[in-house]
A = this chain, B = another copy of it.
């Protein structure tokens, strides 16, 4: 999917919501556990109930790997289901991969080609040759970790490197890499003022934003500083939506929560 198509979807749905499919068998409605593939059945119900309110879904691979081969089957069925039934949806493999060049190529092939995700999150620590193999895929997107939303973000990402924070150096350096037009960035919502600084460095790229809501970030503040001409934001929400209820009504309850966020987004888009 191109970013132009993504922006079109955002305007069509009046939403830049991404729903994180971080499925934990201990948290989903227990009646699903008797089905053959509870994780896929859960995802399917959540996706069917929310697909018109969200432009993106983001399974975090850890939650699937935790269930071994069965988990990988659930991941494969989930991405296939989205790609077949809702091809207008932007899909993100939240995998945070990154390795030396020939090894990153294997990850890129696995997620962008075989599983056919539109994008994958990638860690920057190993530098250029660990990221460029992901960037080589046309109309696919590499979402580089810049400033994450967790406490540990302040251990290294905000350290001062030659007069600027490391995450800013990551943003700047990454712009020089081959096929940099395929880059998006992970930027946590924890401090909205950071978005003003970040937009000076990457005015045009999409930002994937975790940490709104549960982790304390404000949607309107993030949008104030972060929205650009192509909107350029994907706001992720996982637990607040998918675990809104663990009863038989979990899917309509998830829709209710998604609708609250989408309504707020619609207002923001209308004001622009």
A→B interface (CB under 8 Å): 22, 24, 60, 62-63, 65-66, 68-69, 72-73, 76, 94, 96-101, 103-104, 106-107, 109-110, 114-115, 123-131, 145, 148-157, 159-162, 166, 169-170, 173
Q: Would you call B100 and A149 a contact (CB within 8 A)? A: yes
Sample of 6 more A-B contacts, CB < 8 Å, known A98-B123, A126-B153:
A24-B106, A68-B114, A125-B156, A125-B157, A126-B148, A127-B156
Distance in Å: Cβ of A201 to nearest Cβ of chain B = 15
Distance in Å: Cβ of A97 to nearest Cβ of chain B = 7
Report the bound CA distance from A109 to B65 in whole Å: 9
Given that A68-B72, A110-B68, A150-B100 are contacting pairs, would A157 and B62 also be in contact in the complex, using a CB cutoff of 8 Å?
A: no
Q: Would you call A69 and B76 a contact (CB within 8 A)? A: yes
Report the bound CA distance from A60 to B232 in whole Å: 35
Report the bound CA distance from A162 to B157 in whole Å: 13
Distance in Å: Cβ of A135 to nearest Cβ of chain B = 13
Report the bound CA distance from A154 to B150 in whole Å: 26
Q: Would you call B106 and A63 a contact (CB within 8 A)? A: yes
Q: Would you call A152 and B166 a contact (CB within 8 A)? A: no
Report the bound CA distance from A68 to B154 in whole Å: 35
Report the bound CA distance from A63 to B97 in whole Å: 13
- Chain B residues contacting A94 (CB-CB under 8 Å) are 99
Distance in Å: Cβ of A27 to nearest Cβ of chain B = 11
Q: Would you call A153 and B127 a contact (CB within 8 A)? A: yes
Contact of A150 among B106, B129, B149, B156 (CB under 8 A): B129
Query: Nearest B residue to A153 by beta-carbon distance?
Result: B127
Interface centre among A123, A153, A161, A166 (most CB of B within 10 A): A123
Q: Would you call A97 and B96 a contact (CB within 8 A)? A: yes
Query: Nearest B residue to A113 by beta-carbon distance?
Result: B66
Report the bound CA distance from A10 to B142 in whole Å: 41
Q: Would you call B107 and A62 a contact (CB within 8 A)? A: yes
Q: Would you call A159 and B166 a contact (CB within 8 A)? A: yes
Query: Nearest B residue to A148 by beta-carbon distance?
Result: B126
Contact of A166 among B128, B151, B166 (CB under 8 A): B166
Query: Nearest B residue to A69 by beta-carbon distance?
Result: B72
Given that A60-B99, A60-B103, A125-B125 are contacting pairs, would A169 and B159 also be in contact in the complex, using a CB cutoff of 8 Å?
A: yes
Contact of A130 among B60, B106, B109, B152 (CB under 8 A): B152
Distance in Å: Cβ of A177 to nearest Cβ of chain B = 9
